[in-house]
Chains A and B, each alone.
Chain A
């Protein structure tokens, strides 16, 4: 067995937590109601169809006890919050033992060893093997064997009354029949317990391993992000300084540079600028957004959008691209991290402008629905081929059309959009047709504004 690191909230070496056990308990309550109904139906049918006379009153009484107990269980399991695993386990065992006792009484009242429903004991063993570890499963199987044997023996030695189910035939008092049936019963119970617990042991080992693997993967992913973050930080400074150096030379007044030299230096500045953009995007991407309550602010989305379109207006007008906006008239406030919102919207809008043909059109539609903000950014630009649509949100992926169109992209814009959107609990959707344009639909959950919140955007 692999040991589970202590990071988990609860010990779950066999993959059960107090909460998950409680869900099972609630499910059992439902099964038990089904058993109550089943018992009522069976009693009704038996009293009508069978030639013998079963003690209907007693059968109904036992069913009533089961119903009362189950009412208590149901209330307890729904009202009392789950606490610790051992406590919950104890409850499961007690309830199951009670069920076994009641089943035995029911069987006693309906023919004992004559009644083929004795295999209902198996159901308990199966459930126990799903829930418990090896030894406990055998406890349940053993309890079933003890109870049933006690009943059969009691009836045989006339300590308990025997109610005939089918006929008053003497077979039920033939020792060979009784011993054969009891033997078969014990065998089936034990084999079921053995098989069930063995299979579940393997299952749990696999699940534990999967959990361990997943934790390792998550840790590796965090380490990778950490590494990216470190590299990004280390690289940013020298690149920025190099760019500043070349910039400073280019901008130096009274310095006559040969045209060839100036051209090369300008190329260098451009390349360094591009590298810096990528470094900044990477920093943004690896840092991730901050969605803690403290960093949330009331953001006026109209103001945010206006500011972003303003920044892009120069490029848009130079390339004769019309940006139309359909914004709600009243101030659309939402609670969120302003930096993240800004990044999401500006990446979407600047993509729309960047990948529009000259003279194209970009439309921004904002709708404040109950509980959700819907922002649609559409363009009539180059579009995205169906086979690329799933990949444009992947880090560093750029479609070949996008690469032809512009060498400015870093392949991190949409991944950042997706990451931040998901961190804010929202979704991003893409519809696109090559040559006809793309439409990105962003949906963000709208949180209730705290009372007395200040406006900051």
Chain B
């Protein structure tokens, strides 16, 4: 069991946070959450989680991206894997293609909402760095 691995969820949809929390805690992860980009950045720096689930669109259209850039640019958080939750594909018309956009999108994986619990757990496991 992957005990003691901490996952930070940055999402302003508290319902979704609770859903993800239930699934992840049930798998033995520790879950912390932040309801805004700024609080997410603070939490990432202070608590250095093992993985971050980041919602692409909070207050502003691209707040998630901005948070991801800051995380990648900061020495303290650079190495934390980021899974990005999107619903944006249907909305603004800029479709993501991770294979193509990876060079300039600083995240490890995209997950389109609604997220299937099994896929979420699989991807979290896949991207968690090997336990020290």
Contact = CB atoms under 8 A, between A and B. Distances in A.
Interface extent on A, as a size class? Answer: 20 to 34
B90 A245 contact: no
Contact of A240 (B22, B93, B113): B113
A248 B113 contact: no
B113 A244 contact: yes
B70 interface: no
B90 A248 contact: no
Contacts of A8: none
B125 to A, nearest CB: 14
Interface string A236-261: 11011101110111011110000000
B15 interface: yes
B91 to A, nearest CB: 6
Interface residues of B, number: 21
Contacts of A456: 100
Interface string B98-132: 00100000000000011111100000000000000
B22 A283 contact: no
B23 A248 contact: yes
Interface in B18-56: 19-20, 22-23, 26-27
Contact of A251 (B91, B93, B117): B117
A249 to B, nearest CB: 8
Contacts of B118: 251
Given A239-B114, A248-B19, A287-B90, 8 more contacts: A232-B90, A241-B13, A241-B15, A251-B23, A251-B117, A253-B27, A280-B90, A284-B90
B16 interface: yes
Shortest 3 CB-CB contacts between residues of A and residues of B: A283-B90, A240-B114, A251-B117
Nearest to B113: A240
B103 to A, nearest CB: 14
Nearest to B24: A248
B91 A233 contact: yes
Interface in B43-94: 87, 90-91, 93
B91 A283 contact: yes
Contacts of B13: 237, 241
B20 to A, nearest CB: 8
Tell me which of B16, B87, B114, B117 has the highest count of chain A C-beta atoms within 10 A of its own C-beta. Answer: B114
